[in-house]
Amino acid sequence: MKLVNSVINFSKGNTELYEMFVDYFNHYRANAGQKGLSFRTHKSDGSPVTFSDKEDKINKELLKEIARVSNVPNAQNWDMATYASHPSVIWATFAVINQLVDAVLPDAITDSIGLYTDVRTIGYGDSAAFDIEARDLFAVSKAGRSMRQAEIHKQFKGQVTVVPENHVLSVGVSLYRVLSGYESLARFASKAVLSLEAAMTKEAYTAFATAMAALDNSGTDALRFSGWADTTFITLAQTVTAWNGGQKAILVGTNVALESVLPTSDVNYRYNLESDYVKMGYIRDFKGYSVMEIPQVADWGTEFGLIIDDTKLWVLSPTAGKLVKLVLEGSTIANTTGAFDNANLTQQTNLQKMWGTAIATSSIAGTIELS
């Protein structure tokens, strides 16, 4: 696994804790129902390792890392209330959490929106500029044998600049309960990552959906069709592939939307229990084109709402350029109130993360509206 440079530098090259957290986080997401994740299930001696075993071990390792960063020994004879109120310990605790978040966030967000989003990390105070190559080719014309040249053509690059904006996640946490083992610091970091991932996913998908909805007002039906049909899909896939320089198109959508991807001929067909359609809910390859699922995402601002549109399928060429660009600025920043600032001894922690999204590509995509 590859960690970002900021995590490697912070750990002074001893990345064992952060590699453990990547494995723990994948296990955490797998327990929540996410599929296709890789994590350790057995120890070196062949005995099974459970999620609770990992959580206990990583919380102990976290306390060691906090002691290293704070330069305050995690002395067993110390009174926990005294140790937890040490300013250096408070700072170090959330400095370590920042690194845990940054260790897994890029991969987590790529798993969610990687089919249509390119994720880039930049430094503090920077902005990201994306050069947009012209998609058109040069025109070739007939000319007389005595003509030195035909009409001159020249192409220019476009450019889209993305300036990240600050986003803040504010939570209440009892550092005393965390350091005394009553609350899991690893679980807190995992939920922080998932919260940031959900916000980024919603923003990136909104940009993508807005761009695809603009096809309705483009004045052409070449990239937009209503209703599923074999010929409709093949026509759209051929168009997207051809106009993206031959980069093969794929069909993407949610599991519900992909259930519509079936032959529309009058010939009867059967599926056995071992087929992809029965196991996964959709066909992985159709008419020579790959079919891939976009994971559905909860809209936490609503009552059991979902973000991704189940009534649309999209035809993309990811290798020709992702439509959405997501730019992450710097590392996660944390600020925490004092241990005794509040009457209930609960501290307010603010995790600040800067990112921005934009449509920046010359590749094309199409949509099929199912209803």
The answer to whether the beta carbons of residues 243 and 135 sit under 8 Å apart is yes
Chunked in runs of 10, what are the mean pLDDT values of the chain (371 residues)?
Answer: 80 88 87 78 82 87 87 68 77 87 86 87 88 83 82 84 90 72 78 88 91 71 86 91 90 89 66 65 81 87 89 90 90 77 74 91 89 71
Predicted pLDDT at 221: 73
**CA distances, 220 to each of 241, 283, 371 (Å):** 18, 29, 19
Q: How far apart are CA 95 and CA 65, in angstroms?
A: 10
Amino acid identity of 189?
Answer: A
What is the residue-wise DSSP string for 306-318? ESS-TTEEEEE-G
Q: What is the pTM of this model?
A: 0.81
- Tell me the Ramachandran region of residue 46: left when phi exceeds 0, alpha when psi lies from -120 to 50, beta otherwise: left
Residue 171: in which H helix or E strand, if any? strand 165-173
Structural domain spans, the chain = 207-324+361-369
Q: What is the DSSP string of 194-216?
A: HHHHHHHHHHHHHHHHHHHHGGG
Half-sphere exposure of 190 (CA within 13 A, CB side): 21
